[in-house]
Amino acid sequence: MTTTTDPLGLGDIGPARFDSIPTVRDGLAGVGYLADEGIAGVVYLADRLAKPVLVEGPAGTGKTQLAKSVAELTGSRLIRLQCYEGLDESKALYEWNYRKQLLRIQAGQVLAEADLGAGPDHHSPTWAELEEDIFSEDFLLTRPLLEAIRADTPVVLLVDEVDRVELETEALLLEVLSEYQVSIPELGTVQATRLPMVFLTSNNTRELSEALKRRCLYLHINYPDIDRERDIVRHKVPGISDELADQVARIVRSLRTIDLRKLPSVSETLDWARTLVVLGISSIDATTARDSLNILL
């Protein structure tokens, strides 16, 4: 407890970003994200344990927004990797800039020819020199994961909809997530100078691999309870009366108890509340509810 031992072999995990769970909660509220106990607790732990957070839950409950808000709160840059089927190494980690390399080689040839008359003591570069030259950092195109690792300013890395990549591609993430490093065969291993905070979101369209889950803290964000939803509505919809916000939250809660094919999400609740405000409705009765319900469902 007293000594922050180094359970992950990561060296110094850096100064704590947050003092306590309530600080996280208040801080997030300060940037407009109303977290509940669970969310704040997991964010706090993620920082203390230096572990990525895997966020799951129904669509539109603020999974991506959580990462953005944490970035805003900690004053970090948000680096986002949007996952899709077919994402590969060269889009996620790094890529060699072939064209530039090619140019470099051609330029070398041209220069060598021009130098032929310069004198006998000049020699053209050997293959080894050339190889070292074209596989240097100048020719490296960093992609989000490598960028997050190499950044020397504080960074929040968001890997969005990680369930969309294939199972095999998921393995790409593992090194970054557990060791905070990227191995590049030609260059060696790039270690993170400052550990980024990492958030992964998933819409649960498939089961993620055990290996990935094991490396993350798991956070399931469900639909908020009525008090939190009411606060969110009040917070996010300017000019809404308390009474209306309360009504909105209650109607949405009732809707969620019905077995609908797709339950209304928080973002849809907000859209609905905004519409009601724009329409100048101060109190919902059955007719207004029915007429504007298509926004919600």
Partner 1 sequence: MLNLLSGFVEELRRAGLPVSLTEHLDAAEAVHHIPIEDREALKYALGATMVKSASHWHAFETAFDIYFARGLGTGDDGTPGPGSPGQGDESRLPGDQRGQQGGGAMDQMTPEELAALLYQALLQGDQPLMRLVARQAVTRFAGIEPGRPVGGTYYLYRTLRNLDLDAVLARLVGQAKRERQDDGDLSTLDERLLGDEYRGRIDQLKKAVEDEIRRRLVEDRGAEALAKSIRKPLPEDLDVMHATRDELATLQRALRPLSRKLAVRLARRRRHRRRGPLDFRATVRRSLSTGGVPVEPRFRHPRPAKPEIVVIADISGSVASFARFTLHLVYAIQSQFSKVRSFVFVDGLDEVTRFFERADDPADAVQKINTEADVVWVDGHSDYGHALGVFFDHFGGEITHRTSVLVLGDARNNYHASEDWVLAELRKKARHLYWLNPEPKDYWGSGDSIISEYGQHCDAVVECRTLRQLERFVGDLE
Binding site for partner 1 (CB under 8 A): 1, 7, 20-21, 37-38, 41-42, 44-45, 48-49, 51, 53-54, 56-57, 85, 166, 204-207, 210, 213-214, 216-220, 222, 226, 247, 250-251, 253-254, 257, 259, 261, 284-286, 289
Give dist(CA 53, CA 197) in Å, integer: 8
- Find the shortest distance in angstroms from Cβ 263 to partner 1: 11
- Of the pair 1, 128, the CB lying nearest partner 1 is at 1
Q: 283 by DSSP, 3-state: which?
A: coil
- Find the shortest distance in angstroms from Cβ 50 to partner 1: 10
- Find the shortest distance in angstroms from Cβ 250 to partner 1: 5
Phi, psi of 153 (to 5 degrees): -95, 160
3-state secondary structure 35-69: CCHHHHHHHHHHHHHCCCEEEECCCCCCHHHHHHH
Q: 204 by DSSP, 3-state: which?
A: coil
The DSSP element (H or E) to which 189 belongs, if any, is strand 188-191
Phi, psi of 201 (to 5 degrees): -115, 150
- Of the pair 51, 68, the CB lying nearest partner 1 is at 51
- Of the pair 22, 30, the CB lying nearest partner 1 is at 22
Exposed/middle/buried for residue 135 (C-beta within 10 Å: 0-12, 13-18, 19+): middle
- Find the shortest distance in angstroms from Cβ 257 to partner 1: 6
SS3 of the chain: helix, strand, coil, percent, to 5: 50, 15, 35
- Find the shortest distance in angstroms from Cβ 207 to partner 1: 7
- Find the shortest distance in angstroms from Cβ 154 to partner 1: 20
- Find the shortest distance in angstroms from Cβ 272 to partner 1: 15
- Of the pair 20, 109, the CB lying nearest partner 1 is at 20
HSE at residue 197, side-chain half, CA atoms within 13 A, is 27
Q: 242-257 and 226-236 are packed helices; what angle lies between their axes, rounded to 10 degrees?
A: 130
Exposed/middle/buried for residue 165 (C-beta within 10 Å: 0-12, 13-18, 19+): buried
